[in-house]
Amino acid sequence: MQKYEFRYLSQEDILSLNLSYADVIDAVEKGMAEFGRGTCQLPVKIHTNTRPLTYINAMPAYIGGDQDVTGLKWVAGYPDNRAKGLPVTWGLMVMNDVTTGGVTAVMDATWITAVRTAAVAAVTAKYCKVKDTHSMTIIGAGVQGKFNARLIKMVVPELKKIYIHDLYPAAIDAYLKKMQPLMPEVEFIPIRSDAERQSAIDDSQILLSATQRGDKPLIYCENLHKGMLGIPLESTAWDGKTYTQFSDRFICDDWNLVKNYLDDGKYTDGLDKFINNHQILGKVINGDACGRANEDEFVIASSHGIAISDVAVGNLILKKAEEKGIGVMLPLMEETDILR
């Protein structure tokens, strides 16, 4: 048997590719669209939880149609890692050859997870925002707060103001220092009090929460107004009644995954209102479902993260790495007689 090798890509290898965020958004949108056509395979996430409030997920997917790619993300989320100087979310992405099943690449999944999550939110905003979206409020000044600001602005060019709030004032200051030079065309406004937070939400057409799971919700019905897009990256950050009583339209990446989280109690009021009346993002992209019926609707988009987007971005990375010769080729096997 001939020697078989795969490409290994570290986080720094991936960053050196200088992938365009526009290309990432496009790849995620096309992957979601294919999922909406029913040509993909998406097993539900497999979880292990070694400590409270942690997870390690196995996330495989196959994207069919013209893309014909497959892979698996093995990703962990450990909030206490902040105090240890380690990433909260990290893992590996494995890409496979669809014709042989052979591993073609193993790569860091930290950047993939960060950018694909924001790309899904950006695609959602593209199809579900109101026409004049001039302001957005982001709650959570961490990695997702930063990535979402950057990518959503790309699909919402009319966005002029971003209000930013966090429990930790130092996190807000660090956010402003990082983001304002990157996006000088946007006015970043810090939220330092509850009154300022409510005023920001009142002025915003998008409200995005980018926080870890907490002991109680951060957003309640009385905080919201119609004609808005709500994006909870963590569903429990929003009180259950914001889904069942206030929202007019429910968008999700995958209803089967939503049902899993529903069974786990992450929608405290249930989702009876949307059992037969939800919209899948891929179908919205394809024009087979409506992302917003009118400017007065409150649309809530609850995407828990599916491997379709990870595989789409992983494939984008692998193609660019092969083109540029980036990464290290590592041997996997050569012998056929392995009995010893």
244-253: pLDDT as tens digits:
999 999 999 9
Q: How many degrees, rounded to 5, is the angle at CA 23 between CA 98 and CA 186?
A: 150
User: Phi and psi dihedrals of 18, rounded to 5?
Assistant: 50, 50
pLDDT above 80 (res 212)? no
CA atoms lying within 13 Å on the CB side of residue 318: 24
The chain-wide mean pLDDT, for the chain, equals 95
Q: Give this prediction's pTM.
A: 0.95
- List the one residue out of 151, 150, 135, 145 whose CA is nearest residue 205: 135
Q: What is the pLDDT of residues 114-143, one digit of tens each?
A: 999 999 999 999 999 999 999 999 999 999
Q: How confident is the model at residue 313 (pLDDT cuts 50, 70, 90)?
A: very high
pLDDT at 238: 94
pLDDT of residue 264: 83
Q: What was the pLDDT predicted at 82?
A: 87
With contact defined as beta carbons under 8 Å apart, do 37 and 282 qualify? yes
Structure tokens at 293: 């019926």
Q: What is the pLDDT of residue 19?
A: 98
- Tell me which residue has tokens 């491997």: 307
pLDDT of residue 299: 98
Q: How many other CB atoms are found less than 10 A from the CB of residue 83?
A: 7
Sequential DSSP letters for 54-77: -EEEEEEEEE-TTT-EEEEEEEEE
Residue pointed to by tokens 């009142």: 202
Q: What is the mean pLDDT of residues 53-70?
A: 96
Predicted confidence (pLDDT) per residue in 284-309, tens digit = 999 999 999 999 999 999 988 999 99
Confidence of residue 234 (pLDDT cuts 50, 70, 90): confident
What CA–CA distance (Å, rounded) separates 88 from 176? 21
Picking from 325, 316, 323, the residue whose alpha carbon sits closest to that of residue 63 is 316
Question: 255-267 b/e with 16+ CB inside 10 Å = b?
Answer: bebbeebeeeebb
Dist. CA 285–CA 294, nearest whole Å: 17
Query: 76: pLDDT confidence band, cut at 50, 70 and 90?
Result: very high
Q: How many CB atoms lie within 10 A of CB 15?
A: 11
- State yes or no: pLDDT of 162 exceeds 90: yes
